[in-house]
Chain A
Amino acid sequence: MSSFSDLIERVKASIKETDPDHVRALQLDGSDVRIIDVRERDEFVEGHIEGSDFIPRGLLDLKIENAVPDKSQPVILYCAGGTRSALAARTLLELGYADVKSMAGGFTAWKRSGHPVHIPKTLSQEQLNRYSRHLIIPEVGEKGQAKLLDTRVLMLGAGGLGSPAAYYLAAAGVGTIGIIDSDVVDRSNLQRQILHTDDRVGMAKVDSAEKTIKALNPDVEVVKYQDWLSSQNALEIFEGWDIVVDGGDNFATRYLVNDACVHLGIPNVHGSVYRFEGQVTSFVPGQGPCYRCLYPEPPPPELAPSCQEAGVLGVLPGIIGLLQAIEVIKLAAGIGEPLAGRLLTFDGMKTSFRELKLRRDPECSMCGDDAEFTGFIDYDVFCNVS
């Protein structure tokens, strides 16, 4: 009968080990090695190696194929002292992973060597429950959820597009949602603006939106700007936000939003609707065009009817607003492929999507090679609406 220490000795002889200095060097080299923390949750949240994935050893065999589908991917496992990770390494070898190492001495040795320790923002028990369906998706997980909770998203309007977008982003746990809207709720809004309710007709939209969001998810901080966005207040309002969701209803505002976002380097998730047709794209500074690359000039007012004048099928902004919301989630969590450089168009009458390629215009007056920001223009004059 062999003892536990005999077992560990045999296991360690059958696997490869590495040490903290070597792991740190790989990290600094930008190596594509996957570092996995196999300790228990309470150990992980007290501090871990930055960038490591967390899969407790008890779940490793169940979860590893999802987390690391490529069995030739180099993997380094660590625990507190190097024992559990040695056992885990053997499990991965048995599962066919070709390049697996256990970090000898574990996290204790890592700390002793003076390497940096990442202490994550931890989720409360209630948050673990609330976001559990996110946490089990490998692409989101606790890391992604923590990013969402840290993200500040500014909504241009709590109307047709802003309502569904803000509602789902609040549900998803986007930590801070800012809303700019100077309007009050009108009964004619309720056909599509699902943040508002019949008994709130006449209430400021920002207040109504806050009530609905807080009722759904008290985690979310709502920052209200009951104001009309203008050249005077745009920079002050926009500064400090991670992502802007443009659900505006007029060209003057859309150009202003674009110019402010390009100037501050903030991704601008754009959506627009007309009757039963919509457009979505993400203008990500440095990764694709801006709104002005797409449309250097606005149409004259007689060719630019608003929803108020042209009408809109109530469900349509729901679809377009939620496409904007999923763009926000991807940009915030750093996953997937945002619609940078792609315009998605939706025709509700045919239920058909199309994708068009967008390119950055090197001669763009806002983001072009020779463009220089000289302050905001008078957007009402630019759009001939004053």
Chain B
Amino acid sequence: MTVQVRIPTPLRKFTAGQEEVAVEGATVGEALMNLTESHPELKSKIFSDDGAVRRFVNIFANDEDIRFQEKLETPLSEGDLVSIVPAIAGGRS
């Protein structure tokens, strides 16, 4: 099934500026795997070497954090929105 992955501003340089990328995947893990296959530079930004999601990046399936669902096994339905939400620090200077 096809789902949309929302790319945050800091990572859009790796998706040729695209805000959302359509990918296939029945779970969040599959969707992200397919995303990083078509956009290889994203891989190290989202996953650490052991294949886990990096701890300064949160992945939401629709509006739920997958860490409190079934992590990368969280199932997806056609048309779901997966969001990559990295920590951003900016504000003061």
Question: Which residues of A pack against B, CB within 8 Å?
Answer: 156-157, 159-162, 181, 183, 189, 246-251, 254, 271-277, 279, 294-299, 303-308, 310, 312, 317, 320, 343, 345, 347, 349-350, 354-359, 361
Contact = CB atoms under 8 A, between A and B. Distances in A.
Contacts of A183: 92-93
Contact of A304 (B55, B63, B89, B91): B89
The list of the 3 closest CB pairs from A to B, nearest first, reads A157-B92, A159-B92, A249-B92
B38 interface: no
Given A277-B8, A356-B63, A307 B45 contact: no
Nearest to A159: B92
B86 A299 contact: yes
A345 B89 contact: no
Nearest to B64: A357
B88 A272 contact: yes
A307 B91 contact: yes
Interface residues of B, number: 26
B92 A295 contact: no
B80 interface: no
7 contacts: A159-B93, A183-B93, A248-B92, A249-B93, A251-B87, A274-B88, A298-B87
Nearest to B11: A303
B4 interface: no
B55 A297 contact: yes
B30 interface: no
Given A274-B9, A354-B83, A295 B58 contact: yes
Contact of B63 (A161, A254, A355): A355
A249 B88 CA distance: 9
Interface string B12-40: 00000001000000000000000000000
Contacts of A355: 63
Interface string B41-66: 00001000000001111101001110
A161 B91 contact: yes
A354 B83 CA distance: 10
Given A297-B55, A303-B45, A273 B85 contact: no
B84 to A, nearest CB: 11
Nearest to A160: B91
A275 to B, nearest CB: 5
A298 B56 contact: yes
A156 B87 CA distance: 18
Given A162-B91, A349-B19, 9 more contacts: A249-B92, A299-B54, A303-B45, A304-B88, A304-B89, A306-B93, A307-B91, A317-B91, A359-B65
Contact of A279 (B19, B54, B67, B88): B88
A358 B58 CA distance: 10
A356 B8 CA distance: 14
Given A295-B55, A297-B55, A359-B65, A272 B9 contact: no
